[in-house]
Amino acid sequence: MTNRYDYLIVGSGLFGATFAWHAKRAGKRCVVIDKRPQLGGNLFCEKISGINVHKYGPHIFHTDNGDVWQLVNSIVPFNRFTNSPLANYQGRLYNLPFNMNTFHQMWGVLTPAEAKARIDQQRADVVARMRREGISEPRNLEEQAMLLIGRDIYERLIKGYTEKQWGRPCSELPAFIIKRLPVRFVFDNNYFNDRYQGIPVGGYNRLIDGLLEGVETRTGCDFFDLCRQSGVDPTAMTRYGVTLQGMHFDRVVYTGPIDEFFGYSSGHLAYRTVCFESETLDQANFQGNAVVNYTEREVPYTRIIEHKHFEMFGAEVDACPQTVISREFSAEWTPGHEPYYPVNDDHNSRLLAVYQERAAQLDNVIFGGRLAEYKYYDMAPIMEKVLAMPV
């Protein structure tokens, strides 16, 4: 006897979990599978010394959408965390994003007029140099960044960090990567402008568990293994659905890498990946902030995350005697590593178009999320997209 379901959802990250919640409310029957031993995708938190450690990198939920904010808080209350990162350059600290605190730390200026005058002068120097060289538009990220913010901030706070992120000199990176920079002439260290911001009280596992409540889930279950064991070619699914190991699904929601779905038949899409070096320290407070970027090229890691500061405030910090930190190292993605950031250059854009054309021919497969769309997403826009989808 075959069990019938409306959806097989491949991947239990935020797209898959939100789709399952959305479909269940519409009366649909779903199964969510994930090849990892736990649910939640890159949102998964591991509890260490009473601290929720963001195992796959820090996630801060922020949105201007009141409906999405109300929804996530109906599942789990969110705390008051405000993302206010710092930059460490040669032992000196600068506030991020670029604001009056940054400009005072950089130049000693006291007013917005003084800061604007400094930046305008440095930008004018860049424009003059480009004109002398017969250049009308920035040719690379370096020229684009200096045109936006001037030389001092570029060289201290952008150059080294960006080169570590992308593994190549800024002069060889395309200008479009940094078309805009957040610049504020107020003393405001809040990285985001959104009305709502925070972290789920008790960690992101509670949000994922709430979205998947009442939904059948299976961990350690690889979609492609299921297909092989059932003699099914995922690229040849028909409008009649698919049967895998005694389960019939009308449609598949696929949130993994789109090139993997098609067996990398046209080649691998490129990514940057992130490696983490974490340690538990016998001290209550290591750096006093959740995120500190290290912007020198000579420092091998891009930033240090101190996880307790996402959920512990004031006296709570000292009441927890240990802390967990993670150093992040950016690297070129190779098979077997976790893909993080799409490399949106011309070559990968053309390759993506090939896969998307094939995907469009599969009526009963929905491709969604960061990997399936080869697109960087913040969390709230993923939820907005899913909740607007017909199920």
Among 26-30, 240-244, 287-291, 338-342, the minimum mean pLDDT is found in 240-244
9 vs 236: which has the higher pLDDT: 9
- Within 10 angstroms of residue 311's Cβ, the number of other Cβ atoms is 20
User: Is 301 assigned a catalytic role?
Assistant: no
User: Is 328 assigned a catalytic role?
Assistant: yes
**Which of 41, 53, 46 lies closest to 15 in space, CA to CA?**
41
Model confidence at 3: pLDDT above 70: yes
Q: Report the distance separating Cα 130 and Cα 144, nearest Å.
A: 11
Model confidence at 373: pLDDT above 90: yes
Model confidence at 1: pLDDT above 60: no
Of 272, 327, 358, 384, the catalytic one is 272
What is the pTM for the complete model shown?
0.94
Of 156, 251, 303, 370, the catalytic one is 303
Asked if the bond preceding 339 is cis, omega within 30° of 0, the reply is: no
Q: What secondary structure letter does DSSP report for 65? A: -
Radius of gyration of the chain (CA): 23
Predicted local confidence at residue 180, as pLDDT: 76
- The per-residue pLDDT of the chain, averaged, comes to 95
Q: For the segment 255-301, what is each residue's pLDDT rounded down to a tens digit?
A: 999 999 999 999 999 999 999 999 999 999 999 999 999 999 999 99
Strands 271-281 and 341-342: antiparallel
User: Is 36 assigned a catalytic role?
Assistant: no
User: Is 46 assigned a catalytic role?
Assistant: no
Predicted local confidence at residue 2, as pLDDT: 67
Of 4, 25, 64, 376, the catalytic one is 376
Model confidence at 109: pLDDT above 80: yes
Predicted local confidence at residue 95, as pLDDT: 98
Phi and psi, residue 338, nearest 5°: -80, 125
Predicted local confidence at residue 29, as pLDDT: 97
Q: Please report which confidence band the pLDDT of residue 345 belongs to, taking 50, 70 and 90 as the band edges.
A: confident
Model confidence at 326: pLDDT above 90: yes
Average of per-residue pLDDT across 252-256: 98
User: Is 6 assigned a catalytic role?
Assistant: no
Model confidence at 158: pLDDT above 70: yes
Of 118, 184, 251, 370, the catalytic one is 184
Average of per-residue pLDDT across 112-138: 93
Model confidence at 62: pLDDT above 60: yes
Model confidence at 239: pLDDT above 80: no
Model confidence at 205: pLDDT above 70: yes
Model confidence at 237: pLDDT above 80: no
User: Is 184 assigned a catalytic role?
Assistant: yes
All domains in the chain, ordered by first residue: 3-83+199-266+344-387 (3.40.50.720), 97-178 (no CATH)
Q: What secondary structure letter does DSSP report for 338? A: P
Of 180, 239, 240, 298, the catalytic one is 180
Answer yes or no: are the C-beta atoms of 294 and 88 closer than 8 Å: yes
Of 46, 194, 216, 378, the catalytic one is 378
Of 328, 340, 355, 374, the catalytic one is 328
Q: Please list the alpha-helical segments (H only) found in the chain.
A: 14-25, 66-75, 100-107, 112-132, 141-149, 151-153, 159-166, 204-211, 223-230, 258-261, 315-319, 346-359, 379-387
Q: For the segment 173-199, what is each residue's pLDDT rounded down to a tens digit?
A: 988 888 778 899 999 999 999 999 999
Average of per-residue pLDDT across 54-75: 97
